[in-house]
Amino acid sequence: SGKPFVRPRNCALTNCRLIFSCKDYLKEIWAFGDSYMTTTAQTRYPYYLYGLGIDNYFLDAFGGRNSRQALESLNNALKYGKPRYLLWFLGMNDPDQVTTSNSNWYDVYNEIVSICKEKNIVPVFATIPCTPSNNNFYKNRVISYSGYRYVDFAKAVGATETGSSWYAGLLSEDKLHPSENGARVLANQLLIDFPELIN
């Protein structure tokens, strides 16, 4: 947003045209997420994908992001390109209510389904692991019964039930994010459930 500012050094610019491009918009796979999708930390699963040389996807993720924020970013990206597959791995920052899925998450989920139908995009969702502080049980039921493809992150780390502490050694000390071993397990599960990343 806003106008770019160019400061020439030792020269004058006249009749210039500034062009910005992002080749990642041309990739067939787009992935949207939150802090779990950081690329530089060994406690995040994309780190291990890049370590294997897997970078054939456009990644849009940042820590603390909720589903509504990610949807805004997706709608902006769709002005410049369109993927074949949309990996939509949001929900940890939209924890479920006591007896139902988070309403913000659920509304966005339905919008994602509509966008993908309209634009002929294949959506790929993910179950979100429950943690001692974040319940994701109900949104995971929506995902698992949706009929759409999904990556079963919750099952992979033993975090399908409310209050889950994950399998031993997979949850970090903050009780919210994966450990290094947990991130490796999540990376493996992603490649099992969505092998297009390595095809």
Average pLDDT across each block of 10 residues of the chain; the chain has 199 residues. List them in order: 58 71 89 94 96 95 96 96 98 95 98 98 98 97 98 98 96 96 98 94
| pLDDT given at position 5 | 58
Provide the pLDDT for residue 14.
75
Structure confidence at residue 88 (pLDDT): 98
Q: Which residues contact 139 (CB under 8 A, 6 or more apart)?
A: 91, 94, 96, 101, 102, 105, 106, 109, 128
What pLDDT does 4 receive? 56
Q: What is the pLDDT of residue 29?
A: 98
pLDDT of residue 1: 45
**Rounded to an integer, what distance in angstroms lies between the CA atom of residue 114 and that of residue 86?**
13
- pTM of the full structure: 0.89
Residue 22: predicted pLDDT: 78
Give how far Cα 100 sits from Cα of 69, 122, 146, Å. Answer: 21, 26, 16
Question: Three-class SS of residue 91?
Answer: coil
Phi, psi dihedral angles at 133 (to 5 degrees): -110, -20
For helices 137-144 and 103-119, give the axis angle rounded to 10 degrees.
20
